[in-house]
Structure 1
């Protein structure tokens, strides 16, 4: 068949079908993660981004091409999550900018030019573009599409040749990125883009195959339930927080924890130099303060009645008033952190994160969700802690979507996020704090223990599905069949980077406290120059997250 123009109605159908194709094949794309860890989410992120693009386009009741394209671009931007989703949203953004106002259809040259504009915008969104990724596949596809458009006005024929070329480029991505070659995979984002293009082409060939789109039919993002408090079973009422300043650095945190632990639960004692942060739920906050006073001077003491807080939350949720909102003290700076795991969320809240966005490995929040969290705050300055390398680019996009001053500290892990918050000081400006928080990341080594989601290989070593993996700062360093041995090997590798410091274990939802304590005890005995601490993280997929500072 020959097709020389795409109008609004056909573009919308092609968009719908391409999104459906990706949704059906998202697991194939997810499986192309370089490391076979269970959080490969490129396909899922791209599919969720497409879902919102289609949802917005479907809201346009007319067949106005420009309105449909603009709506899809806006939806993709709001739905974008993960690096692949953000890049895809920028492809849409540039494409929409390449479609002139008043256009009711696109010919082959106009389609190719708009796609080329999309590629240019996608490259701009990435600080240091890397070849061998979705960007390479997109750029090569756009160049071939432009070349074919000069030869023929048949969009179908040109798109077929473009996809054929793009597949060849995708097959070469392992040669461009050695890490892909070692893992035996092609680039996941590039694969996802080709699936979208194939779905688009199928709809152009047979528009009648595309049925009506129903809002939310592809993937409906599950809204996270707010953390609730069971006041019926509340054993300790007062949430007590304070900063303790000791005369000399290096206080015995274990001894301090031991003294306070008998007074309540949810205890967190952590510090840097001679400044120690204490958080505990207790019925006797005065006793906590008395014990802390023996160690140094107290500052920033905060005692909240959690039962009354909960009752007030319920009351105001049902009947919020503007007068009440006006009475709330507005902080100059608010910290927004992306965290998953009940224990980790509690830790982040206790050390200064004012807002927690549910997310992390395999659950990258969208631009829209992060933007909503920012907009809900009354503070004029917002510092975002992504705590995941795949969320940093998403968070960066929020800067241009709000009138607030948004700063992103590029935390790639939970330990980096905790270190960043501990470096925060409300006496400094937002800019000074961002510098302090960013500088603190240099002192953190992050370790993670998880399992292999598929067969793979690493440094010539075969990895079998279900093997336990140890990862240090994003690099695979240990493989085994027992998580305790893998964790020990991981710690050994981490210990070569620092001779002393604080070693903290955050154990996941599948690990018991007894197991974590046993391992921590062995590590403490083996490395006497390290202060060893354990906390319940409650995170999924990762048995342990380890921090060394």
Structure 2
């Protein structure tokens, strides 16, 4: 590849998220500096996922705009020192690629140099033997490359970063004592290797082999700096100001590991380790408008690594029907037949006590509550991913392919693909007058819905004959695009004989199709229909 365009940037960002997910636990295990809180891999993954989400919402354009979207998303979702530094590294790439349609070898050289400058400036007391050393070595190697070919520049940068990472135990006694390399540096190298793989089309495995899990002694290692111990990590976003110099001074008087970095467009991420949480937040209030405030107690984080999670994987299903069916399949279930709050959802997610949780919503109407619950769960250390499902039948299809022996990221992809391959239908009775795509409906009319839109209307009142007839017409319409399996989830109002009537109908019109029905008991939909 001669250069890197916006499409390749999206591929790189997606690959970074998948690679960080695969390496997250290993990076967490070697995290001993500046505090042994075991969350560097998790923080990098969360920050990069936030960056990718922002990029996917941005319009497809030049590489500069794509990298800018990544940088802004990383800053808004930055967690921990490592997340802040990553956001500034991406900002450096974005600034160097501004107004470019693609990233060349020359531009990458400039981008790594700018990333090195911004990341170093983001840390109040830069220390050798950290992620900054790895980034600086990569930038210097890129600068010294004799060619402008992108593949050679990025390969040289990644290899130099690997060499610098292997040197980190010799630069920091705390790393040598624990027998590990710097966790943040390893995370950065994952991103550099991924970029090299995207550019060259070849895997570049440069991670040093001398990485071992943390020992019990390393978990209680004092921070390298000579300052007093600080119990809390405080982070928040800040806007409403263009100047943060005084804020940095105030925070340095309260604690250490201070950073206040911006996206160049008025948004700042503030980070400090301190004991006085209120004073750290008040300093932000005096400067601008702090929001998205998070507080972590290091002792809690360390203890949580050993005791909080009792299993690796869990599935949480949000559904208004087939609750017993989902539970029988091993999922934790939130019954949407009752009013559900964010606290209810958070209680279920946290109650799984699983490190990785995949959520199958089953109903788009709970999105706001779910977003709030997930934000709290992620802030507390769980890895929570939402699989796009909009009906219990899609959630059932996703759960059917769930395989806990697969890597978490691959399992989520498989469930998402199964959900997307399932067309969703619904038969319900209208409770109000409304205008639909196929005309006006009145209260009591029967509605056939496909992918959330009304496609069939049968005048009320509802009768078993009308319901059976409309169910046959709806399934025929759904099978117009093909399909081999029809799944039905039967609600409280489903008349007896509907399944048999539909089976008799399909034996004539679609003899190749198999029908499977489950009692759901949902109070709203007469039936949910899935076609695969």
Q: TM-score range by the shorter chain?
A: 0.3 to 0.5
Higher relative contact order (CA 8 A, sep 6+): 1
